[in-house]
Amino acid sequence: MAGPVVEVRGLVKRYGDVVAVDDVDLNVETGDVYGYLGPNGAGKTTSLRMMLGLIRPTAGSVRIFGRDPQLSVRALDGVAGFVEEPRFYPYLTGRKNLELLAAFDGDGAASRIDEVLDVVELADRAGDRVGGYSHGMKQRLGIAAALLRAPRLLLLDEPTTGLDPGGMRDMRLLIRRLAEDGITVLLSSHQLAEVEEVCNRVAIIRRGRIAFEGTLADMRGRTATLYRLRTTDPDRALEICAAQAGIADARLDGGREIVFTAEQDAVAALSVALIDTGVAITALVPQAPTLEELFFRFTE
């Protein structure tokens, strides 16, 4: 059985006394749209630079398709993308920029220029100078440049940063289409909506360390559920919640409704305790946490 597309073990990067990346482990499997999620400055871009062999790790290892990019540039065969933002010659057209990159890449890349321009929906602006492109168009041209290599793995660092809502939507749709075409995508982002809409697995990095890795369902299963409780006697019910094991952060919301977090077994015990004391339950509703709420639980 083939191993992970990207396998990172014990990755560390220090700059003097500053530890930018601290013992990071990651596994990106074939077909994943993998969200690498964290606040600005958490270590995402530094991690990507080490994965691409742009900077040398202080410790740890990276394997891409089973090969170490520090040992040979051939380890990056089948890999493309950009870190931070793509750069082009602003005085040349979009097409001419791609022609220059295709000449550098070789391997039939020039024959794919029209195809990749169509994929990123820039065919009608390919003859315009890049200096006149919007930020979103430059981001899409960056993906077009990456697709010239016919990659099996696409690494994108904050591809929607600086885009307006329409540009963010278009970028998410593009990433989804690329994944449907069989490209594995590793997407670094702090945009929660972006990750929730396109990614099947995520890792959350906090101060250089991985706080969580897994599916969004796994993430929700690792955290207590928020519940909303309505009863015939809110004040008495709040007292019972406060005294009940496994019930956390109980408070009155709006004067009539109690909000708390708990695991399922603790909620069952709470229901029995309320009934035993003569407090009737009129509503008890679990609320699945949003990705934003989960993100803050793991990063704060």
Q: What is the CA radius of gyration of the chain?
A: 24
Check the CA dihedral 188-192-197-199 and report its sign.
positive
Domains 6-220 and 223-299 share a fold: no
Report the predicted TM-score, pTM, of the whole model to 2 decimal places.
0.75
- Topology of domain 223-299 in CATH is Alpha-Beta Plaits (3.30.70)
Q: What is the mean pLDDT of each run of 10 residues along the chain (300 residues)?
A: 83 93 93 88 90 92 91 85 88 95 84 92 94 91 91 89 81 88 89 80 90 81 78 92 91 87 86 92 82 69
Fold observed for domain 6-220: Rossmann fold (3.40.50)
Domain boundary assignment for the chain:
6-220, 223-299
d(CA 273, CA 278): 9
Convert the chain into a string of H (helix), E (strand) and C (coil). Answer: CCCCCEEEEEEEEEECCEEEEEEEEEEECCCCEEEEECCCCCCHHHHHHHHCCCCCCCEEEEEECCECCCCCHHHHCCEEEECCCCCCCCCCEHHHHHHHHHHHHCCCHHHHHHHHHHHCCCHHHCCCEHHHCCHHHHHHHHHHHHHCCCCCEEEEECCCCCCCHHHHHHHHHHHHHHHHCCCEEEEEECCHHHHHHHCCEEEEEECCEEEEEEEHHHHHHCCCEEEEEEECCHHHHHHHHHHCCCEEEEEEECCCEEEEEECHHHHHHHHHHHHHCCCCEEEEEEECCCHHHHHHHHHC
Q: How far apart are CA 96 and CA 13, in angstroms?
A: 37
List Cα–Cα distances, 29 to 144, 202, 239, in angstroms: 23, 12, 48
pLDDT at 289: 65
Q: Which two tokens stand for residue 142?
A: 């960056």
